[in-house]
Amino acid sequence: MKSDIFCILALLTWASCNSSGLNNHSSTQDSLKTRGVISINKDSAKFESTEIICDTVYKNKGYKLSLRTFDSANEDETKFNTIFILYKLINRQYTEIFKDSIFNTFQEAKFEDFNNDKVKDILIQNFSDVRSNWAYYLYLVDTSHDLLKKIRGFQEIKNPTYIPRYDLIDNYVMSGRNWTSFYKIQGDSIKDFDIVIYDGENDNGKTTYDKDYNKAIKTILTKEKNR
């Protein structure tokens, strides 16, 4: 058993080193992404590794993002199957500055500002349901101190969208009747305002989504002002 674990770790290290060697240059796009798959015939297991160089997302910071799936057969989102690592290029060597264990199905990442500081944050795909509603982990990026802050509970929000004007998060979820709810980042957690509005015709054959949306925003802003 120990020898098997050592073999797996050695193969993951080898894949990382080889992919890093390919990625030691600036990208002309928002990011440069490479992917590799390692198979161990004994157990028919696959160990996927995706790396993204973030040179144009975070200019002159030398960041590289890595996703290493060690259990691709795992479909239980309550169990970790991937290691997320953020590296920084220091003295021509990538140095690990953040690591987290997550559940991930597609090894996808995107960069969007979710706290209105004009710095793009990191969203790592968590899962998607049968209606293709996607959920993500959110890591707020502090480029001044090379730090990440994981927002607890963010992965519970399907199809999240940040609203900079109000410093709120909403979503639009595909369901039997599509719906929207509202959230806010507080510290390292998510506040759920427990307001849900529905799209489509109601029992009276009317559509009131836009009216309900504006009413919900007004209610939330009033509560936040008086809190």
Q: Is the pLDDT of residue 40 over 60?
A: no
- Residues 6+ positions from 51 with CB-CB distance below 8 Å: 16, 19, 20, 23, 33, 34, 35, 64, 65, 66, 67
**Which region among 15-19, 51-55, 161-165 has the lowest average model confidence (pLDDT)?**
15-19
């970790």: which residue's tokens?
80
Element (H, E) at 88: strand 82-90
Provide the pLDDT for residue 4.
47
Name the residue with higher pLDDT: 6 or 55: 55
Backbone angles phi, psi at 19, to 5 degrees: -70, -35
Q: Is the pLDDT of residue 171 over 80?
A: yes
Name the residue with higher pLDDT: 111 or 27: 111
Strand partners, 147: 142
Q: Is the pLDDT of residue 178 over 60?
A: yes
In the structure encoding, which two tokens stand for residue 56, read together? 């144009």
Provide the pLDDT for residue 205.
77
Name the residue with higher pLDDT: 38 or 182: 182
pLDDT tens digits, residue range 214-223?
A: 999 999 999 9
Mean pLDDT of 77-105: 96
Distances (CA, A) of 22 to 63, 197, 209: 15, 48, 49
Mean pLDDT of 72-96: 94
What is the pTM (predicted TM-score) of this model? 0.82
